[in-house]
Structure 1
Amino acid sequence: MTLRIVTWNINSVRLRVDQIARFVAEYAPDVLCLQEIKCTEDQFPREAFEQMGLPYLKIRGQKGWHGVAIASRLPILDGEGPALDVCREGHGRCVSGLINGVEVQNFYIPAGGDIPDRKLNPKFDHKMDFYERLTAEMKTRDRQRPLILAGDFNIAPGDNDVFNHKFMLKVVSHTPGEIETLRRLQDAGGFADVVRDQIPDPVKLASWWSYRAKDFRVSNRGLRLDHLWTSPGLTPAVVKGSARILDTVREWERPSDHAPVVMDLDV
């Protein structure tokens, strides 16, 4: 069967539940990984997701901030999952589940504040610590187990994943230290960066654009912060040509500042 997997930083699931319903109707995801749901588990709009045809839910919420969820057409079983202490602050930043034999791990990795210095900026130190803990865990995993790492990783790794590589090298999300940290995580599990593998350089890609610009396409200052990665045991199942960033969704009324990212799997 074909599984359509989507990751989307929704920036408040309750505020944008109608947009999610429209998206599900138009793009028919089987598994929808959401970040920044900004609500507790009991506040999550379960009934609306049931009506969309995504009745199976795994939620790690947090009052007013952060929060992640997986919504699925198929039952979600408990997977091996990331260790809860991967976020030292105990935030709602990771949730996982096993869906049709594929483990999905959904992350909202800390943005890291404004100063790319671990000693001067506790938020940046938290971001790097989160990556280090996750990398150490991925080194222990069986690479042949079907695994997806999905979510808002808050790092744009490549020269063509930012609007201006030279300028962004000094800005949190694209500094050399962050890029190297992301590469170490990728190497730890042998993960494929599915979107970039299917849409190779030098094509410019972005999944996030600031709200500060009245027209995000005119300003064209985007970053590719949202990712879908597959383990070596799952990468052959990715449908050729299926991975893309659905940037037209960013044009909808009162959008999230992130666009959904999609891929299909033959499993």
Structure 2
Amino acid sequence: MSFTLATWNINSVRLREPIVCKLLEEEGPDVLCLQECKSPVDKIPMEAFSALGYSHMVAEGQKGYNGVAILSKLPLEPAGAHDFAQLGHARHVAAKLPNGVTVHNFYVPAGGDVADREVNEKFGQKMDYLAEMRDFFHAESPKKSILVGDLNIAPREDDVWDHKKLLKVVSHTPVEVEALAQTQDAGKWIDITRQDIPDGLLYSWWSYRAKDWDAADKGRRLDHVWSTPDISTSAHSSRVLRPARGWEKPSDHAPVFATFDV
């Protein structure tokens, strides 16, 4: 079975329903994982998505913020949702595909503006969240699994527009990069995007603050597709759909794709 998966921080699934439908119509991934849906589950516009062939959904929702959803052409079996760091936030949901692959969809806390938990509670929440992710996957030893989402960290030097300038900026600080690496190591996760695209600058997020985001190109790779080693060699065709950042009323994130032959 071959299937294509996409992950996208949509920044309000109801506000951006038109471009979600555009992606589903034009790109047709078998599975679409959304983050920052900002919607209760019963308010997610499933009628429009079902009309395009996406009749299956597993989701965790909240009114006005957070929220994660997995939309699929393929049947989904709910596989849990965890409140890491006990924040009371809808930031994780998992589902199992008919081929036995489990998909984990994450929206890791952004962490605020100051990389110091003593003066910034949000940064402490982010670090605690990552630590509990690490411990969870260390205990679980996942197999035949994919982890996707807005992990809110750009780990590599070529995942940001200027490594030296961003070393003290939340999302690229050494302490965050190390925490993400520990989480990745705990589950033996393989970074599929960089397995397919090993070299060169690569971004999935561009700030709304830039008047011309495309020309300025001050991006970061915050959105990730990982898999367990047992299926990593089946992955291919990774890409970032950069043009989506320029669609009408866009999210500040672009979708990231990968195909798996499992």
Fold match (TM-score > 0.5): yes
Q: Which residue of 2 aligns with 1:40?
A: 40
149, 154, 157: which one pairs with 1:156? 154
Unaligned runs of 5+ in 2: none
AA matched with 2:175: G
AA matched with 1:3: F
AA matched with 1:233: D
What's the C-alpha RMSD, in Å, of the aligned pairs? 1.0
Residue 86 of structure 1 pairs with residue 76 of structure 2: no
1:182-197 alignment runs, 5 A limit: 182-197=180-195
AA matched with 2:185: D
Q: Which residue of 2 aligns with 1:129?
A: 128
1:1-267 alignment runs, 5 A limit: 1-79=1-79, 81=80, 84-100=82-98, 101-143=100-142, 145-201=143-199, 203-239=200-236, 242-267=237-262
Shift of 1:72: 0.4
Q: Secondary structure at the match of 2:219?
A: coil
Shift of 1:87: 3.8
Shift of 1:141: 2.2
TM-score scaled by length of structure 2 = 0.97
CA deviations on 1:147-178 (whole Å, 9 max, x unpaired) are: 11100000000000000000100000000000
AA matched with 2:216: S
Shift of 1:189: 1.1
8 A Cα contact 2:83 2:92, kept in partner: no
Shift of 1:200: 1.2
Distance 1:117 1:215 in 2: 31
Shift of 1:5: 0.5
Distance 1:164 1:134 in 2: 28
Shift of 1:85: 3.3
85-94 or 112-121, larger mean C-alpha shift:
85-94
Shift of 1:229: 0.3
TM-score scaled by length of structure 1 = 0.95
Shift of 1:49: 1.1
Distance 2:28 2:212 in 1: 27
Deviant stretches of 4+, over 4 Å:
none
AA matched with 1:258: H
Shift of 1:204: 0.3
38-47 or 123-132, larger mean C-alpha shift:
38-47
AA matched with 1:247: R
CA deviations on 1:50-76 (whole Å, 9 max, x unpaired) are: 012111001100010011100000111
Distance 1:142 1:171 in 2: 32
Shift of 1:2: 1.1
Q: Secondary structure at the match of 2:78?
A: coil
8 A Cα contact 1:87 1:93, kept in partner: no
Distance 2:85 2:47 in 1: 30
Task: Provide the identity percentage.
Answer: 49
8 A Cα contact 1:88 1:126, kept in partner: no
